Amino acid sequence: MRITPSWTLQKWSISWIIQDVPGLALITGSSSGIGAATAILFAKSGATVVVTGRNAVRVSQVAKQCREVSPNGLKALEVVADVTSDEDLQRLVNTTIKTFGRIDVLVNNAGIGRGSKCEDQDYIDVYKVIMKANLDSVVFLTHICVKHLEKTKGNIINMSSICGIQTAQQYSAYCMSKSALDMFTKCIAAELGPKGIRVNSVNPGVVKTNIMLAAGVSEAECNKANETYGRLYPIGRYGEGSDIAHSVLYLASDESSFITGTILVADGGHLAANIFIITYNFAGKVALITGSSSGIGAATAILFAKSGANVVVTGRNAGRVSEVAKQCLDLSPDGLKALEVVADVTRDEDLQRLVDTTIKAFGKIDILVNNAGIALRCAFDDPNYVNVYRNNIKTDLDSVVFLTHICVKHLEKTKGNIINISSIRSVQTAQQYSAYCMSKSALDMFTKCIAAELGPKGIRSVNQIPIAIYQQLSPGVVRTNILVGAGASQADSDQAWEPYARLYPVGRYGNVSDIAHAVVYLASDESSFITGTALVADGGHLAANILLYKLLRMSVTYNFAGKVALITGSSSGIGAATAILFAKSGANVVVTGRNAERVSEVAKQCLDVSPDGLKALEVVADVTRDEDLQLLVDTTITTFGKIDIVVNNAGIALRCAFGDPNYVNVYRNNIKTDLDSVVFLTHICVKHLEKTKGNVINISSVRSVQTRQDFSAYCMSKSALDMFTKCIAAELGPKGIRVNSVNPGAVRTNIAYTSADEGAKNAWYDDYGKLYPVGRVGEGYDMANAVLYLASHESSFITGTILVADGGHLAANVNIVK
């Protein structure tokens, strides 16, 4: 089938028409939505179309539309089939070949989307259903179509989603399926290219289809969501099925003949505008944020507005207040106008007027964010010190006490929230900033005291402690004016900020959005069990002081005394090294694997290095068996009563060309071991990790982002695992659980090189190491140290992070040459 463009220059439009070469397009899920639009567009372009879906009536309706628009009156083939059934997919292909004798284009469009939290009772069932429909079916169908597509030098277009790139809260299973699908696209594009088959993906943003309705969302909610995103999208509307259909048609055309392995994002600017699908819902709430004309306050006001709240923007500068209020209006999903109040927090009468005006306008206050503050620098022996002290206390403490006091009666009625913006300087001194440090220390105590007092009234009070913040606003990076406002020159301010980016564990100072998101979380129902807490959001500032002190002594040691660490696949390789290092750091360790002898050997090594002579728990288990994983957790809880750390390390890397008859079995085995087991084990551990505010560390691979020929199943499993890490980090963060990943390059284990000849294996690793910028491959202890860091307090600001430990593998674009 050959498709070429027909240009109409006067109208500045492009339409796609089919030439005289006959062609056959098989489109799954083509009885509705994007699939139906694609089938109809292919038919209109002269192709013969196979329409398939589970609903016979809808299949017939779309087939009828295809025939009506076909320039040659071609009748579409109707096949009722369920993509989750291998038998149905085989019948679909057999029927197509029997009828037409060929397949030119395969569009893997069928898919489902369903939300479920990682800790929900039905999560595993939802995960399995989604993976079966969105990934397994695509792998199976594509596999059995290759021999037909090779004959026609055909095309495969997979329908993915921006959720393969961006997380969506409570949709981790869906995101994983799409992330893995993107990796599948790239891997088999490399494998099938020599056969003349091109493979690409279209990744839509929000498109008006039935996928949300099928997931149980009401039609009214679907329409509201679509309209909301239509306003937020840079192009001013949500997508239609026809938008995506045209992208598919282009990728199937000769005009895209140089394109394969590409992820074509068709999202109306969703990713570019950094729009999140799932946001907090503060519809009907009233949020009053002091100091909201700039910096953290402005970012917080805008985020509350974006989340549906009525916002009160206040500050001393009327122009800035209006600018922020306008941004709030622009982003409000319901077009709510922010209340503008020009006020000085150091004046009691201004604060009283601020509250009175808010109550008059909205009738209530749900959320009070005490953000306004100054940081004045002055040495204690300076003649002006007492004035500086009084000014700092008046702004950063007195104003908060007064405003909170007059708001209590209103917050009691709404069972509201108070969030105070403090600083790590409440616990860490700063030379010549004693007044500022005192004001913040007093503010922390105020927070804790009134949390105890106001709790019985249903009012929660929480401290949010940031440090080193800058403002990211168009057109460029603009730092908050707290230092300049304190009298520092712009040059001195710049010089003061820069060192933090180098010293912080996260490698940067904070963005105002970091703090704004934390504030919104603390005001949400998701944090309803938190009050009187000082939430430190400091990029690791406090932890780094300890770490830097240790580094000066050329060693980093961790103390995991009293902690329980469960490490899968810990009978060898990275897992064994990790178990031993945890034991050496004082932890109780659970060693597990399939080989009892190896498990015992590692357990003995753990005992030998344990400073307290702690005996490791030995559990022989196979991670591909749910019952073994349940036994593993139950035995751990029976023995230790808790779990602090879960390291999902067990995995396999099976090599198999996509055209191999055994490929589907290899794919399913890889997914079962490297992904399913992690999802199941993490799911059943959440309730235990929530109690200990624990950590999950997943061992992934650089192959989650870099393809390797004949290892597509492995690459897909690791790509999905990275998405799982990011999704559940967002979900479990409010429970106090951090989730991160370590992604190794080549490590001297048995997974990448399975030769029984130890000498040959080491020689291979040594040669491969010469390609790495660091001059060697990784060792188990390299990864173990990375895992311990992520499980330690020193990484307390890190969650949802993919820590690449690859010796420069990706940076140097090292790949294995056959």
Supply 568's token pair.
């899968």
SS3 call for 200 = strand
Vertex 654: Cα angle to 649 and 657 (nearest 5): 150
CA gap 228, 238 in Å, rounded: 9
Nearest in space to 389 (alpha carbons), one of 348, 438, 343: 438
CA distance 324 to 338: 9
Residue (of 128, 130, 133, 51) closest to 84 by Cα position = 133
β pairing state of 286-289 and 617-620:
unpaired
Q: Which residues contact 41 (CB under 8 A, 6 or more apart)?
A: 16, 242, 245, 246, 248, 249
Out of 123, 174, 280, 389, the active site residue is: 174
Helices (H) then strands (E): counts for the chain: 27, 26
Burial of 35 (0-12, 13-18, 19+ CB in 10 A): buried
Tokens for 177, please give them: 């399926």
Active site residue 174: yes
Quick check: helix, strand or coil at residue 338? coil
| Rounded CA separation 232/501 (Å) | 32
Task: Identify the H or E element spanning 34.
Answer: helix 33-44
Closest listed residue to residue 318, CA positions, set 342, 291, 300, 287: 342
> Do residues 720 and 179 lie in contact, with contact meaning Cβ atoms separated by under 8 Å?
yes
Tell me whether residue 107 is exposed, middle or buried, using C-beta atoms within 10 angstroms of its C-beta: 0 to 12, 13 to 18, 19 or more. Answer: buried
For residues 198 and 156, the answer to whether their CB atoms sit within 8 Å is yes
Secondary structure class of 817 (helix, strand, coil): coil
What is the torsional sign of CA 654, 137, 28, 278?
negative
**CA atoms of 286 and 362, how far apart (whole Å):** 7
Closest CA to 754 of 623, 572, 622, 599: 572
Tell me whether residue 316 is exposed, middle or buried, using C-beta atoms within 10 angstroms of its C-beta: 0 to 12, 13 to 18, 19 or more: middle
Give me the active site residues, please.
174
